[in-house]
Amino acid sequence: MAQARAEKWAFGAFNLDDQATLKAVARAAQKLNAPVLVEVSQGEVDDIGLWNVRDMVDNYKKEYGIEIYVNLDHSPSVAAAKDGIEAGFEFIHIDVSQANHDASDEEIVAATKEIVQYAKLTGAMVESEPHYFGGSSNVHAEGINYDEIKKTFSTPEGAHNFVAATGIDTFAAAIGNLHGKYPVPKVLDLELLQQLRNAIDCNISLHGGSGTPGHYFRDAVAIGVTKVNINSDMRYAYRTTLEKALADSPDEYGTAKLIGKDVVNAVQAVVESKLVDFNSAGKAVIH
């Protein structure tokens, strides 16, 4: 992360739904020689298992010869975040407001501080934010009500106070980014991002990167963002490509064949485009 900040690039943090998604990310990272994160939230943890994710990523890291790390995304409790640390995830996002949207400032700070301390067990980097972050990792039909979401934008003073109170490594900024893919492009407040960068010394991440024009990412990276989360754009490519493949091959019941033939390529193309926007191509350090 220090290298990314010094060299003005960002890690892509790509959600891992299954092995096909992991393969797409690994192939993109190998092709562009880019360092990447793959991440799982509680739903994927429940489905795949923490240790299975750790082992799969380690296997692909060796097979593809890539720089790749694992992030536990939006971990909803202290216990869940500790499980991720113990499983060897290098990045931990503690977000108790995800499970309880009405969590108090004191509860959020206390939980975050506890995970910052516990992460010293492995050296994992801890990410958090002082309030609930809206949207969902899906394709939305409604537009974006910026008057409403601006109420939850980060503020320089709030970011500074939260980082000072918790000791986190990465602050998840809210500047117009929003979980999910919407029918209109997202608009990021880059002036606010610069103010946040001036107010805090730690890393800055952007959640809800899907559906954002690439020029915002390029500017955000130049300002100092070092992690951008992508999920819905990948899921959209996955599903629409699979639907077409199924329609084109009505007699093929080996769905895995279609996923391997068509879907992985489509998701890989999404990942590659993001890595270019994040200026991370060619930045991998392989040990």
How far is it, in rounded angstroms, from Cα 125 to Cα 249? 45
How far is it, in rounded angstroms, from Cα 229 to Cα 127? 12
Separation in Å, CA 200 to CA 1, 86, 208, 249: 15, 28, 21, 53
List, as own/partner pairs, every contact residues 84-90 make where C-beta atoms lie below 8 angstroms and the sequence separation is at least 24, other chains included.
Answer: 84/50, 84/124, 85/115, 85/118, 85/119, 85/121, 85/122, 85/124, 86/121, 86/122, 87/50, 87/51, 87/53, 87/54, 88/54, 88/122, 89/50, 89/54, 89/124, 90/122, 90/123, 90/124, 90/125
- In sequence order, the β-bridge partners of residue 126 are 92
N- to C-terminal Cα distance for the chain?
16
Q: Give me the catalytic one of 17, 73, 95, 262.
A: 73
Give the burial string for 88-111 (b: 16+ CB within 10 Å, else e).
bbbbbbbbbbbeeeebeeeebbeb
Active site residue 18: no
* Backbone phi, psi, residue 189, to 5°: -85, 90
Active-site positions read 73
